Structure 1
Amino acid sequence: MLIATAQSRASDLVSAVNDLAGSLAIVARGMPDFVALHFGVGTAPAGLHAAAVARFGTVALHGGSSCLGIMTQDGVNIASGAGLGALAIWDAAGSYGTGSCDLGTDAGDAAQRATQAALASAGRQGEIPDLIWLTVAPGREEQVLDGIRAVIGNETPIVGGSSADNDVSGNWAQFGPIQCHSDGVVVSVLFPSTRIASAYQSGYAPTGDSGVVTRVDGRRLFEIDGEPAASVYHGWTGNAVPVAGKAPLSILAAATLWPLGRVERQIAGVPFHLLAHPAVANPDGSLDLFADVALGDRLWQMQGSADSLVARAGRVARQARDDAAGGIAGALVVYCGGCMLAVRDRMDEVQQGINTALGDAPWLGVFTFGEQGIPAGGVAKHGNLMISCTVFGLGS
């Protein structure tokens, strides 16, 4: 296995894709078996898809938008809002395939069809992949995970992120080898010839305040302990996050350091909290979230700091590398877009921390509006304000 990454700051799409191909040494190395291509939406997605297909062909090409841009071992590329990067894998002994679908009215069914198309593309129909790399439009991630698991079961790690734009206006994009989407799902199945390891954590800790969901409709949380959710949350945060007046109020930025957590499992006696990011406070006292919660869930008030968000990525990368138990060929990193915006002026520190953890290995990092990963000992989950690192080993 060989892994290489590249990034471009060129404004012209053809030039940008040619930059990537040149840095990846496509002419010398031949066509990769898998390409993950991620980008800030200052780059036109449809044009990028066309240019990428023309340059890389219809290999297992996986594309998704990322808030402002990307990062690699060579630096952070977010200044223009159109940063572009790629990770390519050459692995003659492995198998790789990608499928995509519009989510339509049934996100679970779309995810099943995308997964089946990916398996067919890899020539591994009916088999269980070692890893799934996922990009999905924000909104129905839990249904998408259920759809994927309906095809491949619960054992395969599902890792990735919800596609993002630069200002939460909904201009995110996804693409596979054939089609570009604005509300779609892209599933890549990976059967690498080497071992993999993946870590999934957050940089937040519980404050001690908690309550039970007593009224909810999907991602709209109405009541905690029988009281208006926004008022309860406002109090838990020490008034740091405001309540709405007569109109809905975006609280996305204010809530970044104050997510809500659900205990998914205990790991060596320590609770693992899966996070939900409050996005909007409504005049009726409800909160809109970026993840589903259920009636009867106990929600814990979580708190983070800029220092914790900066340091956590390197720790997650170190855990993944240690779990791989040997040298690594490369890595895919998912870092929440909301966290990135909160520590935007310190992203060089985040990038350097990952470099220190991963050594000389090439890696690609994306900034997402929702993160999918595997809590230790569990099955894949969707959360917010999370970080994951998935590494590919050098040997089997």
Structure 2
Amino acid sequence: MKIATSHSCQPDTLSAVQESCRQLRHRLAQDPDILFVHWSVLYPGEELRKLLADQFPDCRIHGASSCLGGMTEEGVFSQDGRGMVLMGLADPQGAYGVAGGKLGANTRESAADIVLEAINNAGRPGEMPDLVRISSAPGYEDDIITGIETVLGPETPIIGGSAADNQVRGEWELITHRQHLRQGLVITVFYPSTTLSFAFHNGYSPTQAKGRITKGAGRVIEQIDHQPAALVYNDWTGGIISSALENQGSVLADTTLYPLGRVVGEIGGVPYFTLAHPDRVTAGQGLSLFADIKEGDEIILMRGTVETLISRAGRVAQAALQANRLTPEEISGAMVIYCAGCMLTVKDRIDEVSQSLNSALGGKPFLGAFTFGEQGCFPSGENRHANLMISAIVFGPTR
């Protein structure tokens, strides 16, 4: 396997595609078998798709828009909200399949159909993939994971990130080599010639504040311990959303360092958590989130800092290496998902995140996106959707 990345911040889509594809061809020294691309929405998705398909007509493409730009081993690429990053994989002994589609009335059925189409596109019907990578419009992620698991079972790791725009206006986009989508899903199935390792973590610690959801459904908590959820949360955090309690405003930027956690499992007696990011105070003083909840769930207030959000990226990459006892010298490259909310919180120091990853991965090529939701596989094998998370996939030695 050979992996290379490229990038551009050129002001127009044609120039950006030409520059990044020229870089990629030079570094890869051949056309890729599959291309992954993340871009800010200032580059129109359908134009981008057509230009990339013209550049690489025989290549599968998996693409999702990313908040403000993206990152590679060479740094973070975003100028005035504009940036594009590409990763090409040349792996003639492996197989990869890509499929996409709109999400209809039954998201689970749509996801099941799309993953089967991706498997057929890889030329491996009836064969379980080593890993499934997903990109989707925000809001559907939990049902997408359930739908994929109805086909593959819970053992196949599912890792990905939700498409993002620059200002949470619903302008996110997705592409394959054949399609441009908005409220859709793109799936790639991996049958690589190399081993794969991965990790899925967050940069937060639990506090002493906790309670139980006594009323709520979907992505809204109405009550915690029979009290209005927004009031309870505001009390837990020392009043950080006080200004939004009367006008039901957005609290997304205020709550990034204080998400709500739920225990997924334990390793060595130490619990690990899935996170939900509070988004808005509702009319009934509830809290809307970027992840699904259920009545009866126990929730714990989590606490993060800018320092932990920066350092955690490299530690997640190290965990992915350690999962298969790999050294950076043994890998071909990596794919990283870094939450857009975390990125915006550490924005003035985002280059340090790229440097942290670069150090952990020994300078090997990596592709990074800034997403509006993260999907990954926890240490005990649970595929989950969460917020404010970081994931890494590393491509190890040839099998």
TM-score, normalised by the number of residues in structure 1: 0.97
- Counterpart for residue 11 of structure 2: 11
- Counterpart for residue 361 of structure 1: 364
1:211 and 2:214 matched = no
1:382 and 2:385 matched = yes
1:178 and 2:178 matched = yes
CA contact (8 A) 1:37 1:63 kept: yes
CA contact (8 A) 1:39 1:66 kept: yes
Amino acid at match of 1:365: G
CA contact (8 A) 2:9 2:78 kept: no
Whole-Å separation in 2 of the counterparts to 1:240 and 1:27? 48
CA contact (8 A) 1:42 1:80 kept: no
Flag structure 1 segments of 5+ consecutive residues without an equivalent: none
Whole-Å separation in 1 of the counterparts to 2:27 and 2:295? 55
- Counterpart for residue 337 of structure 2: 334
More displaced stretch, 104-113 vs 93-102:
104-113
- The within-5 A match list for 1:1-396 is 1-25=1-25, 29-242=29-242, 244-326=244-326, 327-396=330-399
Cα 1:225–1:178, aligned 2, differ >3 Å: closer, same or farther? same
Measured on the aligned residues, the alpha-carbon RMSD in Å equals 1.3
Question: Equivalent residue of 1:195, what SS?
Answer: strand
Quote the sequence identity (%).
43
Whole-Å separation in 1 of the counterparts to 2:58 and 2:25? 18
Deviation per CA, 1:282-308, whole angstroms, max 9, x where unpaired? 231111000001111000000111011
More displaced stretch, 16-25 vs 129-138:
16-25
Whole-Å separation in 2 of the counterparts to 1:28 and 1:238? 52
Whole-Å separation in 2 of the counterparts to 1:393 and 1:313? 19
Whole-Å separation in 2 of the counterparts to 1:118 and 1:341? 33
Report the CA distance between 1:245 and its aligned residue.
4.5
Whole-Å separation in 2 of the counterparts to 1:393 and 1:210? 40
Flag structure 2 segments of 5+ consecutive residues without an equivalent: none
Matched positions, count: 396
Deviation per CA, 1:152-203, whole angstroms, max 9, x where unpaired? 2211111110000000111001111211111100000010011010011000
Report the CA distance between 1:243 and its aligned residue.
5.7
CA contact (8 A) 1:230 1:243 kept: no
Amino acid at match of 2:212: V
Report the CA distance between 1:28 and its aligned residue.
7.3
Question: Equivalent residue of 2:253, what SS?
Answer: helix
Question: Equivalent residue of 2:138, what SS?
Answer: coil
Deviation per CA, 1:203-258, whole angstroms, max 9, x where unpaired? 00111110011111210110111110000000011112336345321000000001
CA contact (8 A) 1:40 1:67 kept: yes
Whole-Å separation in 2 of the counterparts to 1:196 and 1:237? 40
Report the CA distance between 1:148 and its aligned residue.
1.1
Report the CA distance between 1:364 and its aligned residue.
0.5
Whole-Å separation in 1 of the counterparts to 2:381 and 2:153? 13
CA contact (8 A) 2:244 2:251 kept: no
Whole-Å separation in 1 of the counterparts to 2:52 and 2:177? 9
CA contact (8 A) 1:127 1:152 kept: no
CA contact (8 A) 1:173 1:182 kept: yes
Question: Equivalent residue of 2:332, what SS?
Answer: strand
Report the CA distance between 1:362 and its aligned residue.
0.3
Question: Equivalent residue of 1:233, what SS?
Answer: helix
Cα 1:22–1:176, aligned 2, differ >3 Å: closer, same or farther? same
Whole-Å separation in 2 of the counterparts to 1:58 and 1:140? 30
Whole-Å separation in 2 of the counterparts to 1:300 and 1:246? 24
CA contact (8 A) 2:195 2:398 kept: yes
The ranges of structure 1 where at least 4 consecutive aligned residues each deviate by more than 3 angstroms after the TM superposition are: 26-30, 243-247
Amino acid at match of 1:72: T
TM-score, normalised by the number of residues in structure 2: 0.97
Question: Equivalent residue of 1:3, what SS?
Answer: strand
